[in-house]
Structure 1
Amino acid sequence: MSLITSPFGFSSTAAEVAEGIDLTGKRAVVTGAASGIGIETAKVLAAHGADVTLAVRNLEAGERAAVSITAETGNTAVRVAKLDVADLGSVREFVSAWTGPLHILINNAGIMATPEERTAAGTELQFATNYLGHFALTVGLHDALVEAHGARVVALSSSGHLISPVVFDDIDFRFRPYDPLLAYGQSKTASVLFAVGAAKRWAHDGITVNAVMPGAIATGLQKHTGGLKTPPEGRKTVEQGAATSIFVATSPLLEGVSGRYFEDNNEAATVHDGNGWMSGVAAYALDEGNADRLWELAVPLIAA
């Protein structure tokens, strides 16, 4: 199976990637769209005619973002809805309130390298936020995605997935000493495995699910790491950081493509050895057996 390539690359912006694409009549949800690359992602979708819902924890920040996006794009179909993906009750409320088709779901919200913390249900917070809540959201919106007849789901991962597989026997660090970067890494591996698992299960539902690595962008995500550590030449602007999400969500090149991992607007090569957070997708993150095991583990967790 050959890797999918595009004319875009590391420096391409979301606006460049979306040029010429008409999203009129399409409905989109972007989680974590009140800050960082989430705002840029939502803005570009709105600029191309989509009806966009900003799914955010902070409604006030979300409203400010919506006003800004409408002012920049002229699109008045920019809405705000409450969603805390770390809180499964909040996810259920969002899902129950949604009606009609959903054409694009971008699971963008995330946290990184946070101090040790668990949800009320006892799940490690990074795993709960970056993976489990988005799993619950996407599964909960399955019927709406089917109704769209060609929906696309984008799961944001990270090159950080290269530092840890999902440690199935100790996801919540109940036996291992807690390590914030290992916890982050396994949560981002889980995001890729979700794409693999959903691609297998939903192949006949008209839904494609792919994972993306946005790149190193200076945002609030790095507040627990002392700021962005990537050398300047390896950094992206917010506009560049949103590009791969927009590419996977909208490009005609990805029609019917599912269960893959993209970086810099191209499909990434599979790597079998750690390469210091450089590039590529770890073989363990694409392993169908791991994806099945994670899916089977997650279903009872979101039903609890």
Structure 2
Amino acid sequence: MSRITTPYGFHTTADEVAAGHDLAGRRAIVTGGASGIGLETVRTLVRAGADVTVAVRDPDAAQAALKDDTVRIARLDVADPDSVRAFTAAWDGPLHLLINNAGVMAVPDLRRTAGGIELQFATNHLGHFALATGLHGALAAAGGARIVALSSAGHHVAPVDFDDIDFENRPYDPWVAYGQAKTATVLFTVEATRRWAADGIHANAVSPGGVMTNLQRYIPEETRAQWEKAPILKTPQQGAATTMVAALAPEFDRVGGRYLEDCAEAEVIDDDAEAGLADPGVRRWALDPAAARRLWEVSTAFAAR
């Protein structure tokens, strides 16, 4: 299976990817679309003519950020199962694009949801899993829907520890928790595509690259200052470009279960390879079909709590 590339790259912007696409009549949901990469994703989709719903915890903040009455704004807290169920129950009609953009990074202390689930796993993976499964009928009704799940090079840090996802028996580490959540994000797309391709639904994971946004709010100030000087940083518009490739590019039509970075499918690297937060490639553990199936079963059980 050859690696998929596109004419775009590191410096491409979301608007450049969307240029020439007429999305009139196509409906999209973007979680966490009130700031950073999500906000630029929303703006690009709107400029291309899409009917966009921004799903956020704070609708007032989203309205202030967007300043666009054509964008629908709905309350959604992906870490709260009741909020996810309310959102999916209220959705009516087909859904062409589901962009799972909301996330949290490196929460310094162990935090759990009301249901007892570690916060990063709940926010970055489990809530979006429940959102996608709850919207399956709407996605199938679109006749060729795409799901884009935002992962990260942070997945290099850790696979999913199925024996202790919630850090009940091992010391909590904010980066290990982040890493396994972002690995789970990729595994979700592998299994979602396997299960739902026959329904016309394909899911891909993307790494936006290094972009300084509110996502880094838990990172120490000195570390953020060092990151801001890094030559590999992208603007939010550039960070949203790979999302747009997964959402719109013809190269990924009816293609799923891939991990994209810099607007192309990433090279697969071995699980024992030296790789960190700034390194390219996708770990084999994030694409493992057996792990993807197991994660789906575990996530279904978590969602039923």
2:276 counterpart residue number: 276
Q: Partner amino acid for 1:289?
A: A
2:65 counterpart residue number: 65
Secondary structure of 2:197's counterpart equals coil
1:134 counterpart residue number: 128
The answer to whether the 8 A contact 1:163-1:185 is kept is yes
The answer to whether the 8 A contact 1:32-1:109 is kept is yes
1:180-219 maps to which residues of 2 (within 5 A)?
180-219=174-213
Q: Deviations over 1:65-113 (max 9, x none)?
A: 332xx3xxxxx53110000000010000000000000000000000000
1:9 counterpart residue number: 9
- Structure 2 unaligned residues grouped into runs of 5+: none
Q: Partner amino acid for 1:182?
A: V
The answer to whether the 8 A contact 1:150-1:207 is kept is yes
Aligned to 2:256, which of 255, 258, 268? 258
The answer to whether the 8 A contact 2:154-2:276 is kept is no
For residues 258 and 3 of structure 1, the distance between their equivalents in structure 2, rounded to whole angstroms, comes to 12
**By how many angstroms is 1:223 displaced?**
1.2
**By how many angstroms is 1:228 displaced?**
6.3
For residues 295 and 249 of structure 1, the distance between their equivalents in structure 2, rounded to whole angstroms, comes to 23
Q: TM-score, normalised by structure 1?
A: 0.96
The answer to whether the 8 A contact 1:218-1:228 is kept is no
1:121 counterpart residue number: 115
1:19 counterpart residue number: 19
Question: Structure 1 residues 237 and 295, CA, compared in 2 at 3 Å: closer, same or farther?
Answer: same
Q: Which runs of 4+ in 1 moved over 3 A?
A: 228-231
Are 1:39 and 2:32 an aligned pair? no
For residues 298 and 228 of structure 1, the distance between their equivalents in structure 2, rounded to whole angstroms, comes to 36
**By how many angstroms is 1:59 displaced?**
1.2
1:244 counterpart residue number: 242
1:156-167 maps to which residues of 2 (within 5 A)?
156-167=150-161
Q: Partner amino acid for 2:203?
A: V
Q: Partner amino acid for 1:299?
A: T
- Structure 1 unaligned residues grouped into runs of 5+: 71-75
Secondary structure of 2:93's counterpart equals coil
How many residues are aligned here?
297
Q: Partner amino acid for 2:218?
A: H
Q: Partner amino acid for 1:107?
A: N
Q: Partner amino acid for 1:260?
A: R
1:73 counterpart residue number: none
Tell me how large the CA RMSD over aligned residues is. 1.0
2:219 counterpart residue number: 225
The answer to whether the 8 A contact 1:217-1:228 is kept is no
